[in-house]
Amino acid sequence: MEVLVFIFILAGIFFISFRSNRNYLQKHTGKVKPFKTVQKLKPFDAKSSVPLPKKTNLQGPAYIVDGDTLVIQKTQIRLFGVDAPEMNHPYGKKAKWALVTLCKGQKVRAEIMEQDDHGRTVARCTLDDGRDLSAEMVKLGLAIDWPKFSGGEYRLLEQPEVRKKLWLADARQKGRMHVWERYEAKQKSRASESS
């Protein structure tokens, strides 16, 4: 009985606030917003329907390629939403070994999300305990959020000054590939001088 009285009171409050909002609009603007009409749904048409894409999951031990790339069941996977340094860039080897340490002895679950512009499989990868590998790499300061792909999901996890530390990854995200090209050219000239 008390529940019914409570529901009745709530309905009354809703009705009164609804009426007062409509009256306020009419008094101050001279207009009343019309009620939204419900769009009629078209009947199901099997010829024009498209099935929802299946979410594919892979699970198993991971072979680590670099700080944001791994292989599960012979499928090369790029971690969703983050960018880690390349192996020949500053902190590249450290990023790879941090990811090796995270995944060692664990089964990694990859929820495949899409293929990137280079045809690589992109997936949200998690450990058995539910930790997100992308988030863990960002927290360690060995990867940075890539807002273009993550929507800023990992930005708050970034360590202070990490974008200065991982300046080449930051340059790539900002489209400053000339910075990369200069760095690569210096690396090649150093390699040719030492041989």
Number of domains present in the structure of the chain? 1
Q: Give the tens place of pLDDT for each residue, 97-152.
A: 999 999 999 999 999 988 877 777 999 999 999 999 999 999 999 999 999 888 89
Structural domain includes residue 21: no
The CATH number assigned to the domain holding 128 equals 2.40.50.90
Structural domain includes residue 80: yes
Q: Give the tens place of pLDDT for each residue, 5-37.
A: 666 676 666 555 555 555 554 555 555 555 555
**CA–CA separation, 94 and 86 (whole Å):** 10
pTM for the whole structure: 0.68
Structural domain includes residue 41: no
Q: For residue 82, what are the contacts with CB-CB under 8 A and spacing of at least 6?
A: 68, 134, 137, 138, 143, 144, 145, 146, 150, 154
